[in-house]
Amino acid sequence: MVSPILELTNINKSFGHVQANKNINLKINKGTIHGIIGENGAGKSTLMSIVFGLYQANSGSIKINGKEINLRSPRDSIINGIGMVHQHFMLVENFTVLENIILGFEGETVFGEKLQKAKEDLEKLCQTYNFNIDLDATISDLSVGFRQRVEILKSLYRGAEILILDEPTGVLTPQEVDELFKILRSLKDEGKTIVLITHKLIEIMDLTSEVSVMRQGEMVGHTKTEDTSKEQLAEMMVGRSVLLRVDKKKIKKGEIIFKVNNLSVKDDLDVTRVKDVNLEICSGEILGIAGVTGNGQTELLEALSGIRKVESGSIKLFGEKISDQNNFLNPRMLKEKGLAHVPEDRQRMGLISDFKAHENLIFGYHDQEPYSKSAILNNKEITEYSNKVMQEYDVRPNSPNLITSNFSGGNQQKIILSRELNENPKVLLVGQPTRGVDIGAIEFIHQRLIDMRDKGAAILLASVELDEILSLSDRIIVMFDGKIVGEKENKNVTDRELGLLMAGVA
C-alpha cells in the first residue's frame, strides 16, 4: 500500500492548562482534498500550525511520505513541501505580488536574472491554474480574494505539495468562494494535496473527498465524504444532536430605543463601509444582524457605540441625537446613558491582555464609584466586585490578579460580558459574543443575553454564526456590502433564505 503523504501519530499540544490537541492521529492521502472540520476552538488551527512548524508538539510524530521528519520552523515545513494559507494573510501590503512571493527566497543581492526567471515561472504557474493575477500589482490594491490567491501562489512557488488552508472562506464573498473552489479543484487534478480547515459543513460536502472531525482537541472521526451527511457531521462536531434554538419567552416589545437614519460610515482607509442604513431597535427585543464578515457590521457597531465618527445621517438614542456628521458623543458619555458594548474583537478592543483580570473587569467603568473616588482607585471594592462577578459568571480560574492573557478565549469573553452586563444596561450592542468560546460557555452567554432581553433591554446582536442569529433574534436584518438587504421577523426563517441574502443574490 502506498504510504499517506502526511501522517500524524499521537500529537499532543498544550498551552498552559489548556490541552489544545490530544493524541491526534491523522492520515492524508496524496492527491486528495481532505477536510478538517470542528467548531471554533476545537484545535484545528493548532494542529495545522504544528504541521506547518509554527508550534512544536509536546509529543507525537509527523511523517511525510512515510519518512519521519522534525519540523522546528515554517522553513523546515516549506522545504518538506508543506505550504499554508493563514486566516490572516502574511503579505507586505506595499510590496507587489512578485516581491511578496519571492520574499525570503530572492536568491540574489541585486535583482536581475533570477527575478526575471522567477517572474517567468510564476506566469507559467498562473496559467496552469488559471490564477489570473497581475504580478506587478501592489497588494494593497488587491481584493481579499486576490490576496488569498497570492498566498496560494506563494506556497506553490516554494514547492508546496501539501497545501493547508485555514478557514479560507471566512472573508470571501460567495463569488470569490466559487473561484477559490475552482482553483482548489484544479490543484487537486494536478496531483497536489489540499487540507481544508473549516467549520462550515457546506464546504466540506462540496469540496472534499475525505473528512476528519475534531472536537475539543480530539479527533473524533474520519470518513469518506460520500459516506456521510451534514447532519451526521454536525452531530460529531458538537458531540450530541444539535439543539440550536434557545427557549425564550414571548417578546414584550417596548418603545423605540435606538433609531438610525440614513447612516453612512467610513473605515480607517476612507472606504464607505456602511451605506445609508436605517434601523430601529426597541426595548425588549433582540435585533440580529447577519452577514459575511466585512460587510459593514463592524463599522456599524463602532458608530453606534461612539467609537467611530459618522459620515452622514444620524443616530438617536432615547430620542436624543447622539451622533451625526458634525459631532458625536464619546463611548464614556454613552455608557452613562446606559449603553453597553461587547466588541467583536476582544483582543483588539474589549480587553487589555497585559492587564490583570480585575483591571479589565472595571475597564471603562474605572472612573465610576465605587471603583474609584476622586481619582483614586479603590482596590478593596474592585477586588470584592471582581470576586463576585467572576464567581457569578464562572470565570476560570477565579483569580482576579491573574494577567488576562492567561485566561482562555471563552473566559476572556466572560470577563467582558460580566463587565458589560453587570450594570444592567438599557441598550446592549454585541458583536460575535461566542467567537472562540466553548459550547458550555455559549449556552451560558446566550442565556444571559435572553435574560437581558426579558428584563427589557434593547439588544443589537451582530454575528457571523447564522445559528446564533436564528436562535436568539426576534428580528433579523441582513447586511451585504454595507447595505441592509433584507429584514425579517424571526418566524420560520431558514438559514437558506438568509444565506442567499448574505451572498447578495436574493
Partner 1 sequence: MSNIVVDKSKVPWWVSNVIVPLVNLTLALLVSGLFVFIAGENPIEAVKLIIYGSFGYIQGFAYTLYYTTNFIFTGLAFAVAFHCRLFNIGGEGQAYIGGLGVFLVAINLSFLPVPIVWLLAIFGAFLFGAAWAYIPAYLQSKRGSHVVITTIMFNFIASSLMIFLLVDVIRDTNQMAPHTVKLPEEIWLPSFEAFSGILGIKIRYSPLNLTFLLAIASLFFVWFLVWKTKWGYEMRAVGHNTQAAIYAGISPHKNIIIAMCISGGLAGLLGVNEILGVSHKIQAGFPAGYGFTGIAVALMGRNHPIGILPAAFLFGILYQGGSEVTFEMPNITRYMFVAVQGLIILFSGALENLFRPQIESFFVRRLNREVNA
355 binds partner 1 (CB under 8 A): yes
CA atoms within a 13 Å half-sphere pointing along the CA-CB vector of 497: 13
Binding span for partner 1 by CB under 8 A among 2-10, 60-68, 359-367, 386-394: 359-367
Q: How far apart are the first and last CA of the chain?
A: 49
In three-state secondary structure terms, 158 is: coil
The site map against partner 1 for 254-293 (x = CB under 8 A) is ----------------------------------------
In this chain, which stretch among 90-98, 161-169, 299-307, 456-464 interacts with partner 1, using CB under 8 A? 299-307
**Cα–Cα nearest to 421, from 398, 396, 444, 397:** 444
Does 49 participate in binding partner 1 (rule CB under 8 A)?
no
| Shortest separation between residue 308's beta carbon and partner 1, angstroms | 9
Among 38, 306, 486, 504, which residue interacts with partner 1 (rule: CB under 8 A)? 306
* CA distance linking residue 90 with residue 354, whole number of Å: 25
Determine which residue in the list 67, 366, 455, 496 makes contact with partner 1, applying CB under 8 A: 366
**CA angle 206-210-211, nearest 5°?**
85
> Is 376 among the residues that bind partner 1 (CB under 8 A)?
yes
Site for partner 1, residues 379 to 438, rule: CB under 8 A: 379, 402-403, 406
Whether the ω angle into residue 370 lies within 30 degrees of 0, i.e. cis, is yes
Q: φ and ψ at 33, to 5 degrees?
A: -105, 115
Q: How far apart are CA 445 and CA 409, in angstroms?
A: 13
Among 242, 333, 487, 505, binds partner 1 (CB under 8 A): 333
- Closest CB to partner 1 among 331 and 499? 331
Smallest gap, in angstroms, from Cβ of residue 357 to partner 1?
Answer: 12
Q: Which stretch binds partner 1 (CB under 8 A): 37-45, 90-98, 361-369, 493-501?
A: 361-369
Q: x-or-dash pattern for partner 1, window 199-238, by CB under 8 A? A: ----------------------------------------
Shortest reach from residue 350's CB to partner 1, in Å: 7
Which of 43, 217, 343, 482 is close enough to bind partner 1 by CB under 8 A? 343
Total binding residues toward partner 1, as defined by CB under 8 A? 37
| Identity of the residue, 272 or 353, whose beta carbon is nearer to partner 1 in the bound complex | 353
Q: Do 484 and 291 contact (CB within 8 A), yes or no? A: no
Give the angle subtended at the CA of 364 by the CAs of 361 and 368, to the nearest 5°.
90
Window 135 to 154, contacts with partner 1 (CB under 8 A): none
Binding status of residue 350 toward partner 1 by CB under 8 A:
yes
Give the three-class secondary structure for 356.
Answer: strand
Cβ-based nearer residue to partner 1, 56 or 132: 56
Integer Cα distance of 428 and 259 in angstroms: 14
* Nearer CB in complex with partner 1: 227/268: 268
Task: Write the DSSP assignment of 230-281 as a string of letters.
Answer: HHHHHHHHHSS----PPP-PPP---SEEEEEEEEEEE-TTS-EEEEEEEEEE
> What x/- string results for residues 62 through 91 when contact with partner 1 is judged by CB under 8 A?
----------xx------------------
Nearest CB to partner 1, comparing residues 215 and 419: 419
Residues 88-127: x where in contact with partner 1 by CB under 8 A, - otherwise, as a string: ----------------------------------------
Q: Give the distance, in angstroms, between the CA of residue 468 and the centroid of all CA atoms in the same chain.
A: 14
| Joined grid coordinates for residue 444 | 451560558
Q: What are phi and psi of 101, to 5 degrees?
A: -70, -35
Among 34, 188, 215, 341, binds partner 1 (CB under 8 A): 341
505 touches partner 1 (CB under 8 A): no
The verdict on 305 binding partner 1 (CB under 8 A) reads yes
Check residue 369 for interaction with partner 1 (CB under 8 A). Answer: no
Q: Which of 67, 117, 230, 332 binds partner 1 (CB under 8 A)?
A: 332
**C-alpha dihedral (197, 200, 204, 210), degrees to nearest 10:** 50
How far apart are CB 115 and partner 1 at their closest, in Å?
A: 27
| Residue from 93, 141, 367, 392 binding partner 1 (CB under 8 A) | 367
Closest approach of Cβ 57 to partner 1, in Å? 12
In 3D, which of 381, 353, 383, 365 has the Cα closest to residue 425?
A: 365
Considering the rule CB under 8 A, would residue 500 count as an interface residue with partner 1? no
Residue 222 to residues 12, 156, 164, 389, Cα–Cα distance (Å) = 18, 27, 18, 41
Is 252 a binder of partner 1 (CB under 8 A)? no
* Cα–Cα distance for residue pair 194/83, rounded to 1 Å: 10
What's the rounded Cα separation, in Å, for the pair 394 and 387?
A: 10
Residue 264 pairs with which residues in a beta bridge? Answer: 312
User: In angstroms, rounded to a whole number, what is the distance separating the alpha carbons of residues 248 and 225?
Assistant: 36
Residue written as grid cell 527575478 = 115
Sign of CA dihedral 434, 437, 441, 443: positive
Residue with cell 472534499: 208
Q: What residues line the site for partner 1 (CB under 8 A)?
A: 15-16, 56, 72-73, 305-307, 330-335, 341, 343, 348-355, 359, 363-364, 366-367, 372, 375-377, 379, 402-403, 406
